[in-house]
Amino acid sequence: MDAPDLSSRTPAKADDAFDFALLQKSVARTGSRNRRALWWLVGLLALLLGSVVTLLLYLNNFEEEEAARRRAADAQWLEQSVQFHFRRLEDDLLVLSRQAVQLSAGVGGVLPDHQPDLNAGLLWREPGVILSSGWIGAGQLRDPRVGPERWPIDWDAHPDNAEALSLMQSVSQGLRRAAYAGLMLRSDGAATDVVWLAVPFFDRGQFAGNYLVAVSLNQALRALLPAWFMQDHSVQLLTTEGTEASETAYRTGLNLPGTDLFAQVALTQDQPATVPRIFFLVALLFLSGMLVSLYALRRDFIKRQQVQALLQAQVALRTAMENSVTIGLRAWDLGGKILYVNDAFCRLVGYQAAELIGRAIPFPYWPAEQIDALQRVHDGIMAQGTSGEGVEVQFQHRDGHLVDVLIHEAPLNTAAGEQIGWMSSVLDISERKHAQRMAAQQQEKLEASGRMVAVGEVASTLAHELNQPLGALSSFANGLLNRLNDGSITLAELLPVVERMARLAERAGGIIKRVNAFARKRELSRQRLDLVAFLQRVLAQQGDERGIAPAWDLPRQAIWVEADELLLEHLVNNLVGNAQDWAAQAGQKPQVWVGLQRDDAQQQAVLTVADTGPGVSEEAQATIFNAFVSRKEGGMGMGLAICRSIVEAHHGHIEVSRDPLLGGARFTVLLPLAE
């Protein structure tokens, strides 16, 4: 939707320009929520009146239903608790059976009252629950004299006991599961609270015997029932022939196979009917809340009127602030359509607000040649906004000139927290970018001047250092001329020497010429160069009067770089000559090693020159490539400075460290590979 130009509006109506249709959704919902709140209050009053009537009917039968529900829940809990702990006891006896079989391998098969230590359950650990326990092997099952200490006593006390115990062992063996027998009877026929449990054990499918325990059910119930349960309940064992449960109590089966036992649970303390009282209290609270809500609603209306007046004042203030700022402001929705721009943004791009509001990408102030790049920036903002540094792009003014801008984006949300777009602050940084470009140019000129001074010194130093070998060549040539005049040298001896002198003189002159040209900031004579073949040629000519010829390890495949061959040869000669000088000062056999590798990850050629010399200390590594810094006696300190200048001219890097194999210095040269 297009919006009118904000610059033509009066302050009294400026707030209309800022209330977008999307943002007004929350305002529209506010009135409907107020009406719903009033209906809720009316419904709440009706609900409370109905609750009071319902409460009178509810209190008549609630207590009985609550008591019945609680008895059923307690019975179910008690039944599950008994089953769980007796199943755990059966598992414990199974572990003891396995141990007993292992221990009874050479003892005859019977281990009465054998109770080894194990991580047992509650019934096994609680004192007084297990009255007697022991293992009976398969061959001793029918002998009533063999078994735990209490076994023969209960067997002989009553004929029903012997029948029940014998049946228990038969059931456990035949059904391959735990079986119970009891309650045990005394000699006078009175029932005790003791039951026997037999857990069979089968070794490789063969019945090995039973592990027997005598359990006191009263002690077991006391052990497994928590104190909070016993505070309000009393528990009594019942049998089918025993006393029936009373009307005020309930009973639940213990579900022990082989027995027909029940536990009668009776409430010892009446539970207060807290739920009806709480319900009545809640009804009173609701009535009180109704009065408080009506009072709060009246205060809310008053506050809304005050907030509305304050909002109008703030909108007027915000309008004045946005018209006075020099930073461009732009709001756009998630679809890329412009919702709002301020006057500063219009002045920045040269368009009126009416021409921009409602426009979608590509925007008219996007340069035609940068539309694809700006589209990618726009997609990135839509995905995650901008970082703290913002995004630098270029806009095109209506008159055609480009404007460098810095954009910061913040989510544009409704009052409900729903994001509907982005709010942009656009800062004109054209002057700053221009100043940065000027500063970069000045810095480049300063660096060029510094490089020219340094390389000029290098060129002068090279000329000075090469004058001596050139003088020596001249003297050697004069000597040869004298021998020629005397006729003491043959042509076969003369020709190779003169050719070598000519090549050396031409090479020395080429070095001086190339370095002087580099110092005057002329372009290097770059060409595609195979470092492997180049090093083979250069290193084959290396050697000194001390006989320290370098050894090398070069790859078989070519490694191509863009380099000036003459300067690169000077670099290798300097590094190898420096290594030969220092290797001769070692206490061991002097060695010089040259290596070359290809680093595909960094797209670099790695040239290393190592020696067996004393190496370079960590303090000296920081200044070793500086001009006029030398560690040699009588040295000028220009060799490694020249090496660094040559490497940096090829956009490479040189560094020094200690070689782990030779123990001396290792110079590493990194040169970019040719594309």
State residue 19's pLDDT score.
Answer: 45
CB atoms within 10 A of CB 85: 20
Range in 183-197, 295-309, 394-408 the model is least confident about: 295-309
Residue 461 has pLDDT above 70, yes or no: no
Residue of 508 and 666 predicted with greater confidence: 666
- pLDDT at residue 59 tops 80: no
Cα(582)–Cα(665) distance, integer angstroms: 9
With CA atoms as reference, report the closest residue to 534 among 601, 593, 462, 607: 607
Residue 69 has pLDDT above 50, yes or no: yes
| Residue 342 predicted with pLDDT over 80 | yes
In a domain, 241, yes or no: yes
pLDDT digits 0-9 by tens, 382-407: 777 776 778 888 888 988 888 888 88
- Identify which of 77-91, 110-124, 430-444, 502-516 has the greatest average pLDDT: 77-91
320 within a domain of the structure (yes/no) = no
Residue 253 sits in the same domain as residue 377: no
Q: Say if pTM beats, i.e. exceeds, 0.75.
A: no
Q: Is residue 319 part of a domain?
A: no
Q: What would the pLDDT profile of 92-101 be if each residue is shown by its tens digit? A: 888 888 888 8
CB burial of residue 189 (10 Å; 0-12, 13-18, 19+):
exposed
Arithmetic mean of pLDDT, 437-445: 77
pLDDT (0 to 100) of residue 240: 61
Q: Which residues pair with 206 in a beta bridge?
A: 203
Answer whether 103's CB lies under 8 Å from 294's CB. Answer: no
Range of the structural domain that residue 64 is part of:
1-313
Same domain flag for 142 and 248: yes
**Is residue 318 a part of any domain in this protein?**
no
Q: Which tops the pLDDT comparison, 581 or 608?
A: 608
Specify the CATH number for the domain of residue 659: 3.30.565.10
Residues 344 and 223 in one domain: no
Q: How many degrees, rounded to 5, is the angle at CA 528 between CA 527 and CA 531?
A: 115
pLDDT at 493 over 80: no
pLDDT of 166 strictly over 70: yes
Kindly tell me if the per-residue pLDDT of 244 is higher than 80: no
Residues 538 and 651 in one domain: yes
Q: For the segment 129-164, what is each residue's pLDDT rounded down to a tens digit?
A: 888 888 888 877 777 778 888 888 888 888 888 888
Interval 494-507 mean pLDDT: 72
Residue with the larger pLDDT of the pair 231 and 560: 560
Angle at 325 between CA 319 and CA 329, to 5 degrees: 75
- Enclosing H/E stretch for 330: strand 328-333
Do residues 10 and 135 both lie within one domain? yes
**Is the confidence at residue 184, as pLDDT, over 60?**
yes
Residue 67 has pLDDT above 90, yes or no: no
Residue 23 lies in a domain: yes
**Is the residue at 461 inside a domain?**
yes
Contacts 24+ apart (CB under 8 A), 17-25: 17/319, 17/340, 18/315, 18/318, 18/319, 18/340, 20/331, 20/339, 20/340, 22/333, 22/339, 22/414, 22/420, 22/421, 23/414, 23/415, 23/420, 25/414, 25/416
| pLDDT at site 567 | 83
Residue 668: per-residue pLDDT: 94
* pLDDT for the residue numbered 34: 56
pLDDT band at 230 (very low <50, low <70, confident <90, very high): confident
Q: What's the CA gap between 337 and 341, in Å, rounded? A: 12
- What 3-state class would DSSP assign to 61? helix
Same domain, 441 and 369: no
173 closest CA partner among 143, 139, 215, 216? 139
Residue 605 pLDDT > 90 = yes
Give the three-state DSSP class for 499.
helix
- Residue 336 is predicted with a pLDDT of 81
With beta carbons less than 8 A apart as the criterion, state whether 547 and 588 touch: no
Which of 172-181, 268-277, 493-502 is the most confident on average? 172-181
| Cβ neighbours for 529, distance < 8 A, ≥ 6 positions apart | 560, 561, 562, 563, 565, 568, 674
For residue 252, being part of any structural domain is answered with yes
Average pLDDT over residues 198-207: 86
pLDDT digits (tens, 9 = 90+) for 518-532: 555 445 678 899 999
Give the residue, 549 or 277, on which the prediction is more confident: 549
**pLDDT for res 280:** 66
- Residue predicted with more confidence, 541 or 159: 159
In this prediction, residue 63 carries a pLDDT of 67
pLDDT at 495 over 90: no
Write out the two tokens for 116: 């080894």
Q: Which two tokens stand for residue 285?
A: 């609270």
In a shared domain, residues 270 and 307: yes
253 near 264, Cβ under 8 Å?
no
Q: pLDDT band at residue 16, thresholds of 50, 70 and 90?
A: very low
531 and 640, same domain (yes or no): yes
**Distance between CA atoms of residues 269 and 61, nearest Å:** 20
Residue 667: the pLDDT is 92
Looking at the structure, do residues 608 and 652 belong to the same domain, yes or no? yes
The whole-number pLDDT of residue 12 equals 39
Over the chain, what is the mean pLDDT?
77
Boundary of a domain, candidates 313, 335, 361: 313
Unique residue bearing structure tokens 């000329």: 463
Confidence of residue 616 (pLDDT cuts 50, 70, 90): confident
Are both 17 and 165 inside the same structural domain? yes
Structure tokens at 401: 């000139």
In this prediction, residue 513 carries a pLDDT of 65
Confidence at residue 236, expressed as pLDDT on a 0 to 100 scale: 77
Q: List helix spans (H) across 142-267.
A: 151-157, 159-175, 217-224, 227-232
Which residues, 6 or more positions from 130, have their beta carbon under 8 angstroms from its beta carbon? 123, 124, 213, 214, 215
Q: Give CA separation, 65 vs 71, 72, 208, 279, 444, in Å.
A: 10, 11, 53, 16, 94
Report whether pLDDT(596) > 50. yes
CA distance between the termini of the chain:
53
**Confidence check: pLDDT of 320 > 90:** no
Q: Looking at mean pLDDT, say which of 115-124, 153-162, 249-258, 636-645 comes out highest.
A: 153-162
For residues 552 and 510, membership in a common domain is answered with no
Question: Contact, 134 vs 116, CB < 8 A?
Answer: no
End residue of a domain, out of 382, 405, 428: 428
Q: Report whether 431 contacts 405 (CB < 8 A).
A: no
Structural domain tally of the chain?
A: 4
Q: How far apart are CA 256 and CA 211, in angstroms?
A: 17
454 and 538 co-located in one domain: no
The CA distance from 555 to 533, in Å, is: 10
- Specify whether the CB–CB gap between 185 and 191 falls below 8 A: yes
pLDDT confidence of residue 568 = 87
pLDDT level of residue 105 (50, 70, 90 thresholds): low
- Flag whether 36 is in a domain: yes
pLDDT digit string, tens, across residues 549-579: 888 888 989 999 998 888 888 888 888 888 8
Domain's final residue, options 395, 428, 461: 428
**pLDDT band, residue 14 (cuts 50/70/90):** very low
- What percentage of the chain reaches a pLDDT higher than 70? 75
Most confident range (mean pLDDT) of 245-259, 265-279, 360-374, 436-450 is 360-374
